[in-house]
């Protein structure tokens, strides 16, 4: 088999300002190799004490660090907030903390426990903040809040009351047919169906929840009155799409979604790879 197949070209999206001094750093996977593209985004908030939110995947380290440091100097980064311990959110945490000598890692106890083998940041450089906690970053106080959909018990999103921006971690994830900077570029029905699907894939327990209690988790986000939302797996959500993302989350427990690809699909993929080679 030919092992020298060229990697498909990856579309580059430069960081976009989604709220004042708040920048979405774009990355994605699946382009040219999968039926849909999945965002792998992170955030930079240029507060008086600048904050980096999540750290991307290791495979994109060079571009990720270049994007972060195009927005803030390494020595000015004061906080690195991890929304949870999954590899698509923590892939560059050690490299980023190494490059930013004045940064404190905003984690929590269980995150450190679960990352024991991979996290190289000393406890003396950490601050532990859980759901409901706050972080003073000089000119504003950020609020940590667990979003309705999550796949790690360590998860907290992050809300900035001065801009109305809510970082949703894994919530509001959407497949894309091509990488885009804003969900406005995703066809409406595809977006709603895709969000239902990803929500159930990320959090299969959502089909088993007490609905009244689940709705309360959405109510908490609604109460923030966010004006823009973004997460690792969704580009910017603005305007009336904010309310629609929240409404779509409310109907996730009873949504009917396609099954995940199974062994039969894997065999088709392997066969097509063999033909291509």
* Nearest residue (CB) to Fe ion, 27 versus 193: 27
C-alpha 274/C-alpha 264 separation (Å) is 15
Q: What letter would DSSP give residue 250?
A: H
Q: From the CA atom positions of the chain, what is the Rg in Å?
A: 19
The span of 91-99, 145-153, 205-213, 249-257 binding Fe ion (CB under 5 A) equals: 145-153
Q: What angle do CA 138, 141, 146 make, to 5 degrees?
A: 140
130 binds Fe ion (CB under 5 A): no
Helix (H/G/I), strand (E/B), else coil: 249: helix
**Which residue of the chain is nearest Fe ion when measured via CB?**
86
Site string for Fe ion, 172-211 (x = CB under 5 A): ----------------------------------------
In this structure, how many other beta carbons lie within 10 angstroms of the beta carbon of residue 158? 24
53 binds Fe ion (CB under 5 A): no
Tokens, residue 155: 């998860």
54 binds Fe ion (CB under 5 A): no
85 binds Fe ion (CB under 5 A): no
88 binds Fe ion (CB under 5 A): yes
Tallying the residues shown for the chain, one arrives at 277
Using CB under 5 A as the binding criterion, the count of chain residues that bind Fe ion stands at 5
Q: List the one residue from 49, 85, 86, 160 that touches Fe ion (CB under 5 A).
A: 86
In the range 220-239, which residues lie near Fe ion by CB under 5 A?
232
Find all residues with CB under 8 Å of 175, minimum gap 6, and list them: 36, 37, 38, 190, 194, 197, 198
115 binds Fe ion (CB under 5 A): no
Q: List the one residue from 27, 31, 160, 170 that touches Fe ion (CB under 5 A).
A: 170
Name 135's bridge partners.
Answer: 142
For Fe ion, the binding residues (CB under 5 A) are 86, 88, 151, 170, 232
């Amino acid at each position: 088999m030919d092992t020298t197949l060229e990697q498909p070209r990856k579309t580059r999206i430069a960081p976009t300002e989604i709220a004042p001094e708040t920048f979405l750093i774009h990355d994605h996977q699946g382009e040219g190799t999968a039926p849909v593209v999945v965002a792998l985004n992170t955030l930079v908030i240029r507060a008086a004490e600048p904050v980096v939110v999540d750290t991307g995947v290791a495979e994109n380290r060079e571009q990720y660090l270049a994007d972060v440091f195009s927005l803030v100097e390494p020595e000015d980064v004061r906080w690195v907030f991890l929304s949870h311990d999954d590899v698509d959110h923590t892939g560059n945490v050690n490299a980023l903390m190494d490059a930013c000598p004045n940064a404190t890692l905003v984690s929590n106890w269980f995150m450190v426990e679960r990352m024991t083998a991979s996290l190289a940041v000393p406890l003396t450089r950490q601050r532990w903040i859980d759901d409901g906690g706050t972080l003073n970053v000089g000119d504003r106080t950020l609020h940590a809040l667990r979003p309705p959909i999550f796949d790690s018990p360590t998860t907290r999103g992050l809300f900035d009351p001065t801009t109305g921006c809510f970082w949703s971690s894994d919530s509001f994830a959407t497949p894309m047919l091509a990488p885009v900077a804003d969900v406005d570029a995703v066809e409406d029905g595809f977006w709603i169906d895709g969000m239902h699907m990803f929500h159930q894939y990320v959090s299969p327990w959502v089909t088993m929840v007490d609905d009244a209690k689940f709705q309360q988790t959405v109510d908490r986000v609604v109460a923030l009155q966010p004006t823009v939302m973004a997460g690792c797996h969704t580009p910017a959500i603005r305007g009336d799409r904010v309310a629609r993302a929240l409404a779509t989350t409310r109907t996730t427990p009873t949504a009917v979604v396609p099954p995940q690809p199974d062994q039969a699909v894997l065999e088709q993929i392997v066969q097509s790879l063999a033909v291509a080679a």
